[in-house]
Amino acid sequence: MKCSETRAIQTHIITYPYLNFHKTLFGGQLMAWLDETAGIAAVRVSRSAIVTASVDHLDFLAPLKANHSVCIDAYVSGVGTRSMEIFAKVIGEDLFTGERYLAGTCFMTFVVPKGAELPEMIEPQTEEERFICQGYETRKAARQAKRQESIDLAKNVDLDIPWS
């Protein structure tokens, strides 16, 4: 399956109620849109129910200002047996000047239920897709190590709330 066959794109204008105190896009709103767009890409490769397993890496590179647009472009960048990695780029645009800028990048992991099938590989075609996909195995190994670290941490987290 080609990366392009999984691609999902979403565009929004940045206006109230999506603004923070700085009159830029509230980061939590961007995260929700990222999850939605990446989820569509994940379903396109799995054609089954999916679950967000993790936001592996999200970099906010530039603020998205009021009255600009934000375009989220996401595609599957690697597949395992039950999990897949989705890469998303966040492109801002000043709608009055037409200037575009990279506002962020994100890698997310989604999982499919037991029995769902994923293709054996994702085929990159563009220079960008080749660059992103070639790092999949390294990022996957880092994710697996981080997951074990999170499991170990959870064993030591106190669930008592001091003010209750």
pLDDT confidence tier of residue 15, bands split at 50, 70 and 90: very high
Q: Quick one: pLDDT at residue 75? A: 98
Whether pLDDT at 70 is above 90: yes
Q: Quick one: pLDDT at residue 164? A: 63
Higher pLDDT, 147 or 10: 10
pLDDT digits (tens, 9 = 90+) for 115-136: 898 999 999 999 999 999 999 9
pLDDT digits (tens, 9 = 90+) for 34-69: 999 999 999 999 999 999 999 999 999 999 999 999
List, in order of start, the domains of the chain with CATH numbers.
3-154 (3.10.129.10)
What is the full DSSP assignment across 125-160? -SHHHHHHHHTHHHHHHHHHHHHHHHHHHHTT----
Is the pTM higher than 0.75? Answer: yes
